[in-house]
């Protein structure tokens, strides 16, 4: 009897996984395609350079190789609306991991799945081209907020709300449903874990001297597949992308900003004088 129950459970999971995979394929049909952009207005209005104390227990400290304690940080908000003609549908990360397609990895500290290579954050010295990387290591893509400037119909449903997580010794599996609906945006607010650059060398990168820099955000960034690495979608220039899109030419946003020598705890930038973060929210 127990064997039958196990068999039944196995069949149910196989059916569930194949349904999810079929759903994931549907985004490439003629019905339409997603189109991801980076909201530049949002970025312009939401950044700050300031001093913060990072506790040893923070996921960003653990994952980013940052020494605990006081650091000079550039925090910023990234919002990536889907302005296309179809939802971006990823479904349950548990199913992607079971299929071994390399789209997701499990983030131990966050205790959920992260999409790999969703958005690239770069801080660039325009004089030398030197580029720093941010502390964020992964993304859970869901509908966070409606995008008010969506050119299509305004009555779009919010379809994607769960990051998903595998079972642990004490907690059951959480079935995920990741994606971004038409007219909705996935948003990573400046308070979140890893949503910053460490400017004082505290994460092993060179310190960022005071001066003017370019903050460049690229959603669904182009990449060249390594040997054996999947290349799920190709743009007109031949670069690989993880996700299908109507237009790969509108995926980059840049803003220019000044990094001061001594920003203090109040900080410098549009978000100066915001309260310090007492416990790091993760996503
Ligand atoms: Zn996370």
Separation between Cα atoms, residue 242 and residue 119, nearest integer Å = 11
C-alpha of residue 163 to centroid of ligand 1, in Å: 8
Helix, strand or coil for residue 195?
Answer: coil
pLDDT in the model for residue 24: 45
For 7-61, write each residue's pLDDT tens digit. Answer: 555 555 554 555 444 444 444 445 799 999 999 999 999 999 999 999 999 999 9
Distance (angstroms) between ligand 1 centre and the Cα of 93 equals 13
- Ligand 1 mean position, distance from CA 22 (Å): 25
Average of pLDDT values for 90-116?
Answer: 91
Percent of the chain surpassing pLDDT 90: 75
Which residues pair with residue 165 across a beta bridge?
A: 174
CA of 109 to the centre of ligand 1 (A): 8
Residue 106 CA to ligand 1 center (angstroms) comes to 9
Ligand 1 centre from 135 Cα, in Å? Answer: 12
Q: Ligand 1 centroid vs 225 CA: distance in angstroms? A: 25
Q: What value does the mean pLDDT of the chain take?
A: 90
Give the pLDDT score at 28.
46
Q: What are the pLDDT digits (tens) for 189-209?
A: 999 999 999 999 999 999 999
Q: Which helix (H) or strand (E) holds 76?
A: strand 69-76
* Whether the predicted pLDDT of 62 surpasses 80: yes
Q: Is 111 exposed, middle or buried (0-12, 13-18, 19+ CB in 10 A)?
A: middle
Distance 282 CA to ligand 1 centre (A): 6
Task: Give tens-digit pLDDT for 128-175.
Answer: 999 999 999 889 999 999 999 999 888 899 999 999 999 989 999 999
User: Which residue bears the tokens 């597949």?
Assistant: 225
Q: How far is the CA of 210 from the centre of ligand 1 (A)?
A: 31
Distance 128 CA to ligand 1 centre (A): 33
Which among 39, 105, 103, 94 has a CA at the least distance from the CA of 251?
Answer: 39
Q: What pLDDT score does 20 carry?
A: 47
């Amino acid at each position: 009897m127990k064997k039958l129950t196990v068999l039944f459970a196995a069949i149910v999971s196989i059916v569930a996984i194949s349904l999810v995979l079929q759903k994931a394929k549907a985004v490439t049909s003629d019905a339409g395609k997603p189109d991801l952009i980076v909201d530049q207005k949002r970025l312009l209005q939401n950044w700050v350079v300031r001093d913060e104390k990072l506790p040893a227990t923070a996921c960003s400290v653990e994952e980013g190789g940052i020494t605990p304690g006081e650091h000079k940080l550039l925090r910023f908000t990234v919002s990536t609306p889907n302005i296309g003609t179809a939802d971006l549908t990823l479904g349950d990360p548990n199913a992607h991991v079971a299929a071994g397609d390399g789209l997701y990895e499990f983030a131990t500290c966050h205790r959920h799945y992260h999409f790999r290579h969703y958005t690239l954050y770069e801080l660039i010295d325009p004089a030398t081209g030197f580029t720093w990387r941010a502390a964020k290591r992964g993304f859970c893509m869901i509908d966070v907020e409606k995008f008010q400037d969506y050119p299509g119909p305004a009555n779009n449903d919010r379809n994607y709300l769960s990051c998903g997580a595998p079972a642990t010794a004490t907690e059951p599996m959480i079935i995920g449903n990741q994606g971004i609906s038409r007219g909705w945006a996935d948003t990573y607010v400046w308070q979140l874990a890893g949503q910053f650059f460490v400017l004082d060398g505290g994460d092993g990168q060179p310190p960022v001297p005071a001066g003017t820099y370019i903050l460049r955000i690229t959603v669904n960034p182009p990449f060249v597949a390594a040997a054996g690495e999947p290349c799920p979608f190709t743009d007109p220039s031949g670069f690989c992308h993880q996700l299908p899109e109507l237009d790969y030419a509108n995926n980059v946003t840049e803003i220019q900003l000044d990094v001061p020598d001594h920003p203090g705890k109040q900080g410098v930038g549009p978000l100066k004088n915001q309260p310090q973060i007492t416990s790091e929210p993760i996503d």
